[in-house]
Amino acid sequence: MHDAVISWYATQSRDLPWRAPDRTPWGVLVSEIMLQQTPVARVEPVWHQWMQRWPEPANLAKEEPGEAIRAWGRLGYPRRALRLHAAAQTIVDRHRGIVPSSYDELIDLPGIGEYTAAAVASFAFGQRHAVLDTNVRRVLVRAVGGEQYPPNAATVAERRLAEQLLPEEGAPLWSVAVMELGALVCTARSPRCAVCPVATTCAWRLEGFPEYDGPPRRGQAWAGTDRQVRGRLMAVLREDQGPVPKARLDAAWADSVQRERALDGLVADGLVEPLDDARYRLPGRSG
């Protein structure tokens, strides 16, 4: 399985900037945060803009948090921008502006969880960690477990399997190759089994492609939801360089009850700051 997947990756992988030989640990960290729940096609242009403007953590740490949100654009889930800004500040304060290499130090950064710490330690520093994202989980549960989809949340058994499958040498290459296989071939809805390098040994295929019978899978509803309202409000604030009158936000969504609920949520999440004169802005520096 190792040889088949890695050989496939060598000829079929995408040419992505955060995989380039001259990538930096900071570039890898930024990419991993941006890629959470966001397609590569949307991330790549924004990643380039970020790295040109903020090539090192110290460059971002000097800015107000609101600038990170503004530059985040339409990637969605803008709290990730705040987490990146907070991580940059911590890297400057605790690590002299250098992204730490150890898993324990990485996971101690604000907003960095188990997956991101393992991914950065692996892809930026060449260490041996199980990198268990949605694509990897899907490949492993199909190829080894014989099931169509993994559970909604990663289980202890999945983590144990991922660790057991890590090769002693070249673990980061294996991890990124499996991830790419899940993204391009072993996709969630339309797997391309005819071109899969492990099709002949895939347990799910050999068992006749049994359909998923677990708990309902979470959808990604958008139209008419509070998420859409939050996005509209954030777009108004991003497009203006200064504070925005409340009337501008009121015009962004007709349903006043839903709009006020969404605005209150943005304030509670630290994404929006209310001012004394009935205006709102993206967050500035604390203190």
Residues classed as catalytic = 32
Cα 284 to Cα 286: distance, rounded to the nearest angstrom: 6
**16: number of Cβ within 10 Å:** 16
Torsion angle, alpha carbons of 114, 117, 121, 127, to 10: -10
Return the closest-CA partner of residue 171 out of 4, 27, 6: 6
Helices and strands of the chain, counted as H and E runs: 15, 3
Tokens of 152: 């909604």
Cα 70 to Cα 76: distance, rounded to the nearest angstrom: 12
User: Do residues 16 and 32 touch, judged by C-beta distance below 8 A?
Assistant: no
